[in-house]
C-alpha cells in the first residue's frame, strides 16, 4: 500500500467543500433569488456508497445557498454547514460528534478557506484546478477539475483501501 492508500484506510468521515469541488465553481444568478448550481451525478452516487459503508459525508461551504442545502437533503447528508467561512471549528465539532481524531477525516477543498482543514486532516485532496496554495497543502492533487466527479474518485480510493470496493461493485452485478 502506498501512502495515500494508508491514509485512505483510516478514513471514517469525509468532509467536502461545495463550490469548486462538487460543482465547477460558477454561480448562475437569475430573476429568482438564490443560486443555481450544477452537481455531478457520480459524486452523489459515491456519497451514497460511503454512507452505506458507514462513512458519513459532511458539506462545509463558505457560501450560504439553498442549492447546497437541497443537494445535501436529496443525498441524506445530515451534516450540511453552509455559510461557514471559518471551517476549522466545524471540523472540531464533527470530530467530537463522531468520536474521531482529525487523521480519521478526509477533506476535499479548492481554495484558501479550506487550508486550515486540509493541513489538519488525515487525507487532504483537491481538484486539479485548485488554488496553488491548496495544491501545496494536499496529500493528493487529483487530475480531475472541480465539479467533474472528484468526490467519486476519492470515495473509490477510500473504499478500495478499506477492502469495501468489491461489496460496492457487487451491488450492481447480476
Which among 1, 7, 2 is positioned nearest to 125, based on CA atoms? 7
Burial code of 120-136, b = ≥16 C-beta within 10 A, e = fewer? bbbbbbbbeebbeebbe
Predicted structure pTM score:
0.94
> Taking the domains of the chain in order of start, what are their residue ranges?
3-168
Residue 8 backbone class (left: φ over 0; alpha: ψ -120 to 50; beta: rest): alpha
pLDDT score recorded for residue 28? 75
pLDDT at 142 over 80: yes
List pLDDT tens digits, range 145-159.
Answer: 999 999 999 999 999
Q: What is the CATH architecture assignment of 3-168? A: 3-Layer(aba) Sandwich (3.40)
Amino acid at each position: 500500500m502506498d501512502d495515500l492508500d494508508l491514509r485512505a484506510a483510516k478514513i471514517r468521515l469525509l468532509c467536502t467543500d461545495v463550490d469548486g469541488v462538487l460543482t465547477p465553481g460558477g454561480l448562475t444568478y437569475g430573476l429568482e433569488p438564490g443560486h443555481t448550481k450544477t452537481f455531478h451525478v457520480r459524486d452523489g452516487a459515491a456519497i451514497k456508497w460511503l454512507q452505506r459503508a458507514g462513512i458519513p459525508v459532511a458539506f462545509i461551504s463558505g457560501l450560504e445557498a439553498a442549492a447546497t442545502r437541497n443537494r445535501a437533503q436529496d443525498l441524506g447528508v445530515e451534516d450540511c454547514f453552509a455559510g461557514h467561512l471559518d471551517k476549522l471549528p466545524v471540523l472540531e465539532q464533527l470530530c467530537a460528534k463522531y468520536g474521531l481524531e482529525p487523521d480519521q477525516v478526509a477533506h476535499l477543498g479548492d481554495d484558501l478557506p479550506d487550508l486550515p482543514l486540509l493541513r489538519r486532516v488525515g487525507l487532504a485532496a483537491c481538484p486539479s484546478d485548485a488554488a496553488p496554495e491548496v495544491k501545496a497543502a494536499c496529500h493528493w492533487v487529483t487530475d480531475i477539475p472541480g465539479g467533474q466527479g472528484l468526490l467519486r474518485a476519492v470515495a473509490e480510493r477510500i473504499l478500495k483501501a478499506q477492502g469495501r470496493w468489491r461489496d460496492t461493485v457487487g451491488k450492481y452485478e447480476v
